[in-house]
Structure 1
């Protein structure tokens, strides 16, 4: 455990600690609290991966890493795809910045969603499409019609969505791609949390990518593989012209040596990875059932490793509960105030952790809700 007396600690009380951390985007492990905000796989990578990186630390620090062509081959071996369809990013965030910020003339995003798609777009280049309220389901036909109406050249669907943890059916995404193809609109499908959904192989579009020239799949590996600090994401598309446009925006050494080495050894740990995802799902399912027992709480059935909840009408607001949870119980969750949605202050998103931590969170939540 790292000492809490580091240069990062610009606070004297728990309330000040909350104010400080609520403005940070990471480095949480330095501050000694339970993080139910960020969305990790706590059961991967196995110890052997850390031992391997440690044993090779001299070479990894002292030498230049490889560039895109080799990185794309490494990802290609993991997902069974040719390298020319793959662009490897310093986390998915680097690729999102290129898609939203540089390539899209007009991008349409269902909201609430992962904020980075909207944040990365220049002013006036983004259209927010509200999800059906209060179910938060994506109406494919209305979304396609709006994309065509606003003349979007790029549409984004996150599945399972963040923060709602709701999956968009594969058949809907295929229909959407076909509708948008007639209007020269690329469909970006963000599958970052798909490893935690049931029947992932049947619902991922990765293996069908060659059939849809206007489709690209984006994936953050940080979440599913539990490697947030290594920063690896990739985009996959059979549209080689689009792949080149994204690749041209990436600088030569965008991935460090530790991330490269992780990709090299990852194929050895396929079974461990599958097992870790099963464990995450088992914990999440118990967590979901226990959250459903809280009187008046609306809990959305999750397809990812986090759970979206509407607070009881007579309970405190999301921001108040988030703050009290932290000050009183040293537990951090996310409220929805920064999301574009109706009644945003009534919603919270809770990452599932271990069974023991999930139980503690439920007790703490009950303690601070009113």
Structure 2
């Protein structure tokens, strides 16, 4: 039998670029996945270690108690909450309702990927601004008979926020045409004064509003998978809940929900630290000659690479092979010249500086 051959850097890159997680098993710096590096606190891990046997051996609670626990954390009525195994589970259920759905693109791919064929309308965000034109979006939704409209704010991959006043205006327009607006606020905690930009406290005013939030990103708990839907529309909430199985959340996720309220101040400070690192990172990236860097509101930065340098897929591979750093290129996303764009997650100040220097080196060599 031949001994196992150590893979080359190129082979490792090919393997990693086909994965959807599990990066911690590989020795590289991950500027691809988007999560809070400064949360949860060590106390949470110590608690789970002490309770390991109980968490592994016992059934977790079901949906009613999970909604109650989440409601305590976000200070919203539990009867308006559905808790999912990550936001992805909720997105899959909503997209599978067989209703015509409109989604601005580029955006989080799962909304389009999870929809049945012929049931999704892609609404292109116009370069170079990639800002959502609410009036044009509403007009297209109405013209095409959409029953669900999706807006991710801050958007992924652009890291751009849709102003709250614009979303409220959109809600009022769509309400007259029997269209529910899903606002994905998974990255809102990383926006400056994000709480004031969220629609969570406005849910009770609009029957056609549902908010989705992946807690995995903001709370740094990707491995235990929690997301929630918040809506005052009882019928829509019931439809989503019908798509869940009885124990869709594991014991570790339940325990996090029980403990999270005591960490509120630490969570707030962690998000402020992420914002500080990101803003400094934005300044660093903006110094690279020829690079267009979009001012971010989330914990990642959207960039257009200089025309004179390598394409985004080439630059991404070189960064990995030559510098052991992994970022996300946008080739294949629905946007013009997608092979010129990258999305880079902000990490620590030291790692962000190292990434900036490495990327500049890669871009200077055609």
- What TM-score, normalized by structure 2, do the two folds share? 0.98
Equivalent of 2:68 in 43, 67, 73: 73
User: Following superposition of structure 1 onto structure 2, how do residues 182-193 of structure 1 map, counting pairs within 5 Å?
Assistant: 182-193=176-187
Could you tell me how far apart the structure 2 residues matched to 1:67 and 1:10 are?
A: 47
Contact 1:15 1:327 in 2 (8 A): yes
Please, which runs of 5 or more residues in structure 2 have no aligned partner? Answer: none
Equivalent of 1:15 in 10, 16, 37: 10
Q: Does 1:46 align with 2:41?
A: yes
Could you tell me how far apart the structure 2 residues matched to 1:170 and 1:76 are?
A: 22
SS class of match (1:103)? coil
What residue is the counterpart of 1:4 in the other structure? none
Equivalent of 1:99 in 91, 94, 105: 94
What residue is the counterpart of 2:308 in the other structure? 314
What's the CA shift string for 1:92-128, capped at 9, x where partnerless? Answer: 000000011x214111000000000000001100000
What residue is the counterpart of 1:341 in the other structure? 335
Could you tell me how far apart the structure 1 residues matched to 2:39 and 2:197 are?
A: 22
What's the CA shift string for 1:172-226, capped at 9, x where partnerless? Answer: 0001011001111000000000000011121100011000100000000000000
Contact 2:98 2:116 in 1 (8 A): no
Equivalent of 1:30 in 6, 10, 25: 25
Could you tell me how far apart the structure 2 residues matched to 1:114 and 1:295 are?
A: 29
Q: Which runs of 4+ in 1 moved over 4 A?
A: none
What residue is the counterpart of 1:365 in the other structure? 359
The range that moved more, 10-19 or 316-325, is 10-19
What's the CA shift string for 1:142-188, capped at 9, x where partnerless? Answer: 00000000100000000000000000000000010110011110000
Contact 1:159 1:189 in 2 (8 A): yes
Q: CA RMSD in A?
A: 0.9
Equivalent of 1:196 in 187, 190, 193: 190
The range that moved more, 172-181 or 102-111, is 102-111
Q: CA deviation at 1:338?
A: 2.3
Contact 1:10 1:17 in 2 (8 A): no
Could you tell me how far apart the structure 1 residues matched to 2:98 and 2:76 are?
A: 25
SS class of match (1:160)? coil
SS class of match (2:355)? helix
Contact 2:188 2:195 in 1 (8 A): no
What residue is the counterpart of 1:222 in the other structure? 216
Could you tell me how far apart the structure 2 residues matched to 1:10 and 1:145 are?
A: 57
What's the CA shift string for 1:38-59, capped at 9, x where partnerless? Answer: 0010000010000001111111
Q: Does 1:148 align with 2:142?
A: yes
SS class of match (1:121)? coil
User: Following superposition of structure 1 onto structure 2, how do residues 102-251 of structure 1 map, counting pairs within 5 Å?
Assistant: 102-251=96-245
Q: Does 1:61 align with 2:56?
A: yes
Could you tell me how far apart the structure 2 residues matched to 1:338 and 1:216 are?
A: 29
Q: CA deviation at 1:132?
A: 2.0
Could you tell me how far apart the structure 1 residues matched to 2:6 and 2:214 are?
A: 32
Contact 1:225 1:273 in 2 (8 A): yes
SS class of match (1:188)? strand
- What TM-score, normalized by structure 1, do the two folds share? 0.97
Could you tell me how far apart the structure 2 residues matched to 1:162 and 1:170 are?
A: 17
Could you tell me how far apart the structure 2 residues matched to 1:16 and 1:174 are?
A: 48
Contact 2:304 2:341 in 1 (8 A): yes
How many equivalent pairs are there? 361
Q: CA deviation at 1:10?
A: 8.9
